[in-house]
Amino acid sequence: MAANKNPSGKPKTGQKTASRPEEDARALWDDVAKTVKRQSSTRISPVELPAERVKKPAFVKKPASSAKKPGKVARQLNSGKNPEAEKSGHIIGPADLAKPVYAGIDRSSAKKIQQGKMPLEARLDLHGLSQLEARLRLQHFIATALQNGLRNILVITGKGRMGQGVLRVNVPKWLSEPPLSYHVIAFGPSRPQDGGAGALYVRLKRIREA
Strand (E) positions, 37-196? 95-96, 122-125, 152-156, 184-189
Residue 18's pLDDT band (cuts 50, 70, 90) = low
Show me where the domains of the chain are located.
69-204
CA distance 204 to 49: 54
Q: Is-above-0.85 flag for pTM?
A: no
Question: Is the pLDDT assigned to residue 2 strictly greater than 70?
Answer: no
Residue 19 has what pLDDT? 55
What are the residues whose beta carbons fall under 8 Å from the beta carbon of 118, sequence distance 6 or more? 112, 151, 152, 201, 203
pLDDT of residue 37: 55
Decide which of 3.30.1370.110, 3.40.50.300, 2.60.40.1840, 1.10.150.120 is the CATH code for 69-204. Answer: 3.30.1370.110
Q: What is the mean pLDDT of residues 51-78?
A: 50
Residue 29 Rama label (left phi>0; alpha psi -120 to 50; beta):
alpha
What pLDDT digit, counting tens, does each position of 142-191 carry?
999 999 999 999 999 999 887 689 999 999 999 999 999 999 999 999 99
Question: Cβ-count burial of 8 within 10 angstroms (0-12 exposed, 13-18 middle, 19+ buried)?
Answer: exposed
Separation CA 142–CA 133 (nearest Å): 14
